């Protein structure tokens, strides 16, 4: 199975700054997604990272706040811009991999835990 590496694994950020999270996969993948998990909550889909074109954002998320890059089939970045304490969350990169029995399974990186002061 593919290895998904995210960095930073955690960071403490100041209000008003921006932070870029990187996601590297050790094999080419077509579908890559970014999720957010706020404290005590489940996962919320931010956007689909499309290779070579603009990301597709879910309702409530906009490109100015969460710019995403996907320059190739193994790498993507998510930037959290102009951060506020409400952005304190775990941000998870995920890709679709073929699992046992041929099922296409959403598989997650370890996540990036951001704390905004």
Site string for other proteins, 28-57 (x = CB under 8 A): --xx-x-x-----xxxxx--x-------x-
> Rounded to the nearest whole angstrom, what is the least distance from the CB of residue 7 to other proteins in the complex?
14
Secondary structure letter of residue 77 according to DSSP: E
Site string for other proteins, 7-26 (x = CB under 8 A): --------------------
By CB under 8 A, name the one of 27, 72, 84, 104 that touches other proteins.
104
* Closer residue to other proteins in complex, CB, 41/84: 41
By CB under 8 A, name the one of 106, 115, 116, 117 that touches other proteins.
106
105 near other proteins, judged by CB under 8 A = yes
Query: For residues 87 and 94, what is the distance between their CA atoms, to the nearest angstrom?
Result: 19
Could you tell me the CA-to-CA distances from 54 to 48, 76, 77 in Å, in that order?
Answer: 9, 12, 12
> Rounded to the nearest whole angstrom, what is the least distance from the CB of residue 82 to other proteins in the complex?
26
Query: For residues 31 and 91, what is the distance between their CA atoms, to the nearest angstrom?
Result: 17
To which residue do tokens 């699992």 refer? 99
> Do the Cβ atoms of 77 and 20 come closer than 8 Å?
yes
């Amino acid at each position: 199975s593919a290895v998904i590496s995210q960095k930073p694994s955690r960071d403490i950020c100041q209000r008003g700054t921006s932070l870029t999270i990187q996601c590297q996969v050790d094999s080419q993948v077509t579908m890559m997604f970014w999720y957010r998990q706020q404290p005590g909550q489940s996962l919320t889909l931010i956007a689909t990272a499309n290779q070579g074109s603009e990301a597709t954002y879910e309702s409530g998320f906009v490109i100015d706040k969460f710019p995403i890059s996907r320059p190739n089939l193994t790498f993507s970045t998510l930037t959290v811009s102009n951060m506020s304490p409400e952005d304190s969350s775990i941000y998870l990169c995920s890709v679709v991999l073929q699992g046992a029995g041929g099922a296409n399974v959403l598989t997650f990186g370890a996540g990036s835990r951001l704390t905004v002061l």
